[in-house]
């Protein structure tokens, strides 16, 4: 590969790759997520579309939901009546360029002309100049940071891939429900006419969206427009820039891990604890009630949602304070776990529940047995992993690793399924455990 290739590659990284990573991973200058509990932000790109946008507006009106539309100026010019209807029904209108071109493929001047043309069209139709902007595909160039003086750039925290028809309604709905977190900015598409999209994809999006809105309403969630986002811009308050990258990368890894092992929340309304049903492979654990978890038993493996822990840790001053808050939160979740054991056919025959953590002060009062993780390769890997996690999520970072090092060792927490139900289930019936 000659010098010309390397020059082009370096120029491309400087012009678009690095800036896009900065906003996508670190959230520099953009809105990606809200902080309020029981809220969600529905946003729609690529419209207005004469076939699907009216159906979407009907659906939103039916449920009394307000949303944000990032429209293409060319399409808005063709269908001004839809733009007027959006505004008349209380939705927020933002810009998604005049045409659906990636900013990486345009010069800075052309990007500005695209945005100015789209803004002018919207202002002529509504009488109000839009101030919210979402670049197509979430890709920007180096000079787009200058747009922040005039526009508020909005990305997303949940994208279910609804531009594809494959998998239909079920795939979109599954992704919406499994990936949702409080304050999520959700991006959907009310047009299938852009590059890479399937023309009939919006019909499946509408079907999934109706189910999703209905379910979220039952859980007492509120849908807001993006102009009601808090001003934190989706990034941890007070976190130094040099710590945002490892935090962002770690949380991305967490999302991949959850997907790989199909982890599910114990309580969809409080996603602090996740679990999976698996076969136990560790050393036998003798429990106080006489039960014993042995190799080959079916068990529930618990996992903390480290993204939530990170946000909780940001508001605490010490590891003890963090542990107290987590213990209280887990206490609220244990009845949900007991209820799930009884109601789910997949979990009714499990022998016990276990997890590995360094936050191990307090679980005994809830019936958990705390034992040392046997020394060996798994112990070493777990210790390194948990210390790295603590380094990333704890507000004191490296300083915390230097305090009371002897306490920073992984422990195994375990409780039998019978004991969990005895303590926390409203039903007197015990779980039948297969031997």
User: SS3 for 287?
Assistant: coil
Fold of 241-424: Aminopeptidase (3.40.630)
Q: Which pLDDT tens digit goes with each residue over 241-263?
A: 555 666 777 777 777 888 888 89
Model confidence at 361, in pLDDT bands (50, 70, 90)? low
Give the domain ranges of the chain. 12-228, 241-424
| Range among 56-70, 236-250, 257-271, 389-403 rated most confident | 56-70
Contact 118, 76 (CB under 8 A): yes
Contact 104, 21 (CB under 8 A): no
Examine the residue annotation and report whether 189 is marked as an active-site residue of this protein: yes
What percent of the chain has pLDDT above 90?
A: 46
Compute the average pLDDT of residues 59-86: 97
Least confident of 118-122, 240-244, 385-389: 240-244
What percent of the chain has pLDDT above 70?
A: 84
**Sign of the dihedral through C-alpha 113, 116, 121, 124:** negative
Compute the average pLDDT of residues 77-92: 96
**Helices 377-393 and 306-313: angle between axes, nearest 10 degrees:** 40
Instruction: Judge if 12-228 and 241-424 fold alike in CATH terms.
Output: no
> 């590995």: which residue's tokens?
356
| Range among 63-67, 218-222, 346-350 rated most confident | 63-67
Q: Which pLDDT value is given to residue 373? A: 82
Burial class of residue 72 (count of CB atoms within 10 Å of its CB; 0-12, 13-18, 19+):
buried
Contact 212, 176 (CB under 8 A): yes
Compute the average pLDDT of residues 2-18: 84
Q: Is the pLDDT of residue 324 over 80?
A: no
Q: Which pLDDT value is given to residue 325? A: 74
Q: Which of 79, 96, 100, 189 is catalytic?
A: 189
Separation of alpha carbons 113 and 97, rounded Å: 9
Q: How many CA atoms lie less than 13 Å away from 51 in the CB half-sphere?
A: 10
| Cα–Cα nearest to 162, from 47, 321, 262, 319 | 47
Q: In 144-240, which residue ranges form alpha helices assigned H by DSSP?
A: 168-179, 201-218
Q: What is the dihedral of CA 210, 216, 221, 224, to 10 degrees?
A: -30
> 């046997």: which residue's tokens?
374
Q: Which pLDDT tens digit goes with each residue over 149-169?
A: 889 999 999 999 999 999 999
Reply yes or no on domain 12-228 having CATH 3.20.20.370. Answer: yes
Structure pTM? 0.66
Q: Which pLDDT tens digit goes with each residue over 23-40?
A: 887 777 788 888 777 899
Examine the residue annotation and report whether 45 is marked as an active-site residue of this protein: yes
Q: Which pLDDT tens digit goes with each residue over 181-208?
A: 888 999 999 999 998 899 999 999 999 9
Q: Which pLDDT value is given to residue 311? A: 65
Give the H/E segment covering residue 257: helix 241-260
Mean pLDDT over each residue of the chain, to the nearest integer: 84
């Amino acid at each position: 590969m000659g010098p010309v290739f390397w020059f082009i590659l370096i120029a491309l990284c400087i012009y678009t790759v690095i800036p896009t990573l900065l906003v996508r991973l670190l959230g520099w200058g953009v809105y990606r997520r809200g902080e309020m509990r029981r809220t969600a932000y529905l946003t729609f790109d690529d419209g207005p579309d004469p076939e699907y946008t009216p159906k979407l507006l009907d659906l939103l009106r039916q449920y009394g939901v307000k949303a944000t539309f990032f429209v293409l100026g060319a399409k808005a010019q063709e269908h001004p009546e839809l733009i007027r209807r959006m505004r008349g029904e209380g939705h927020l209108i933002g810009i998604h360029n005049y045409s659906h071109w990636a900013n990486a493929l345009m010069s800075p001047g052309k990007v500005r002309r695209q945005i100015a043309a789209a803004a002018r069209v919207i202002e002529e139709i509504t009488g109000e100049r839009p101030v919210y902007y979402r670049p197509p595909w979430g890709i920007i160039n180096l000079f787009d940071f200058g747009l922040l003086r005039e526009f508020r750039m909005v990305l997303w925290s949940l994208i279910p891939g609804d531009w594809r028809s494959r998998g239909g309604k079920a795939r979109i709905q599954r992704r919406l429900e499994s990936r949702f977190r409080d304050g999520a900015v959700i991006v959907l598409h009310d047009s299938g006419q852009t590059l890479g999209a399937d023309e009939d994809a919006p019909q499946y999006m509408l079907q999934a969206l109706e189910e999703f809105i209905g379910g979220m309403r039952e859980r007492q969630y509120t849908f807001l427009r993006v102009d009601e986002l808090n001003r934190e811009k989706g990034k941890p308050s007070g976190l130094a820039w040099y710590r945002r990258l490892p935090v962002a990368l770690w949380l991305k890894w967490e999302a991949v891990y959850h997907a790989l092992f199909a982890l599910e929340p114990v309580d969809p309304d409080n996603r602090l604890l996740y679990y999976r049903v698996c076969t136990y492979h560790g050393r036998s654990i003798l429990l106080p009630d006489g039960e014993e978890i042995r190799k080959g038993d079916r068990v529930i493996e618990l996992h903390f949602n480290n993204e939530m822990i990170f946000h909780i840790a940001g508001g605490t001053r010490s590891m003890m304070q963090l542990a107290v808050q987590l213990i209280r939160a887990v206490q609220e979740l244990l009845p949900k776990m007991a209820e799930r054991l009884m109601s789910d056919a997949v979990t009714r025959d499990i022998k016990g529940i276990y997890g590995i953590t360094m936050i191990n002060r307090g679980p005994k009062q809830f019936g958990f047995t705390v034992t040392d993780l046997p020394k060996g390769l798994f112990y070493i890997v777990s210790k390194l992993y948990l210390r790295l996690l603590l380094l990333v999520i704890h507000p004191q970072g490296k300083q915390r690793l230097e305090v009371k090092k002897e306490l920073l060792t992984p422990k195994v927490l375990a409780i039998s399924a019978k004991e969990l139900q005895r303590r926390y289930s409203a039903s007197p019936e015990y779980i039948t455990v297969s031997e």
